[in-house]
Amino acid sequence: MDNGQNRAMEGSLILTQGPSGFVSLVGKPNVGKSTLLNSILGEKVAIVSHKPQTTRNRILGVYTSSRGQIVFLDTPGIHHPTHKLNEYMVEVALATLQEVDTIVLITDGTRGITQEDRLALERVFSLGKERPVIGVVNKIDLLKPGEKERRLQELENQGPFTRVLALSALTGEGEDILLDTLLSLLPIGPYYYPPDMITDQPEEFWIAEIIREKIFLFTHQEIPYSTAVVVEDIKEKEEILVVEAIVYVERSSQKGIIIGHKGQMLKKIGEAAREEMERFLGIKVYLNLWVKVKEKWRKKEGALRELGYRRPQKRAKG
């Protein structure tokens, strides 16, 4: 390695030091944290849905430009947990507050400050103390004239923010100001990741997440929340990616719903997931989906670990 010195690669000079550091994207569920990460990176690194509590893990996304490197940590929405899976999710989100250089606290501009926002704000200012906190009013594309200013003022009144700003993660409006602000706050130092790296997620995890996203899209009530997806095997055979994945539910009645009448629901989920994988991976995909019951897995520590929900490690920085 180059100890953070500039290095020449394929004839062009690529900076490997400058403003660089870790930034956590936090807030209550459904405010647009994952949408914002994807929009900044120009890649779908995190799944997104119109339902709350979509993200369950810490998702790392690396933004590198000629001006610096920002390592974003997308997190599950902060909420009052009702069982072990939710406890795990909140723990993951809160752990990032003590690992990062700067915190971005996101709110939904169409809603105003709610009880759950207050919970997130309280945690951010107590656990993340001494770190700069940027407050974001998201979804400004949906706001009426004048509403943006009101929401910004309302957010600013909630705590000692370094700065508050408004943006739309859907249209990208205002994101450049967030990036400029973050780059101005981050310390100067060597980059943590190679400039061409976007995420550290293994392919199996990303594929399982895409399947879970389609379950969030097509199923209702408790079904998406009772579901976990594990990719068991990926093989490339004659330019086709063959994926074997298991959809876990908590009860046999849920298995029937996920499979649907004559298998229609599972087919719909599988087709949508496969099409997206093919588009992103640029290879033909054969997706084999199985549904299994793991009784009350959301309430059992051992089952959570088996399904890949492992307690956060102490430090994000390597």
Interface positions with ligand GTP (CB under 6 A): 29-35, 48-50, 52-55, 76-77, 138-139, 141-142, 168-170
Q: Which stretch binds Mg ion (CB under 5 A): 13-21, 51-59, 216-224, 250-258?
A: 51-59
How far, in Å, are 20, 70, 123, 127, 132 from residue 178 at the CA level? 15, 11, 22, 22, 13
138 contact choice in ligand GTP, Mg ion, none (CB below 5 to 8 Å, kind-dependent): ligand GTP
Closer to Mg ion by Cβ: residue 45 or 287: 45
The nearest distance, CB 264 to Mg ion, in angstroms, is 28
The nearest distance, CB 208 to Mg ion, in angstroms, is 15
Closer to ligand GTP by Cβ: residue 20 or 35: 35
Closer to Mg ion by Cβ: residue 33 or 44: 33
141 contact choice in Mg ion, ligand GTP, none (CB below 5 to 8 Å, kind-dependent): ligand GTP
The nearest distance, CB 33 to Mg ion, in angstroms, is 5
Rounded to 10 deg, the angle between the 84-97 and 115-127 helix axes is 50
Closer to ligand GTP by Cβ: residue 58 or 131: 58
Residue 293 DSSP symbol: E
Q: Please give the Cα distance from 162 to 185 (Å, whole number).
A: 10
The nearest distance, CB 190 to Mg ion, in angstroms, is 29
Closer to Mg ion by Cβ: residue 76 or 132: 76
In sequence order, the β-bridge partners of residue 19 are 188
Residue 170 backbone class (left: φ over 0; alpha: ψ -120 to 50; beta: rest): alpha
314 contact choice in ligand GTP, Mg ion, none (CB below 5 to 8 Å, kind-dependent): none
Closer to Mg ion by Cβ: residue 16 or 209: 209
Closer to ligand GTP by Cβ: residue 168 or 254: 168
The nearest distance, CB 241 to ligand GTP, in angstroms, is 26
Single out the residue of 287, 295, 289 nearest to residue 229, CA to CA. 289
CB 81 within 8 A of CB 87: yes
Q: Which stretch binds Mg ion (CB under 5 A): 49-57, 110-118, 174-182, 295-303?
A: 49-57
Please classify residue 238 by burial: count the beta carbons closer than 10 Å to its beta carbon, then call 0-12 exposed, 13-18 middle and 19+ buried.
Answer: exposed
CB 168 within 8 A of CB 140: yes
**Widest CA span of the chain, in angstroms?**
60
How would you label 150-175 residue by residue, b for 16+ Cβ within 10 Å and e otherwise? ebbebbeebeebebbbbbbbeeeebb
Residue among 20, 34, 168, 219 that touches Mg ion (CB under 5 A): 34
How would you label 7-21 residue by residue, b for 16+ Cβ within 10 Å and e otherwise? eeeeeeeebbbbbbb
Residue among 55, 96, 102, 107 that touches Mg ion (CB under 5 A): 55
Q: Which residues bind Mg ion (CB under 5 A)?
A: 33-34, 54-55
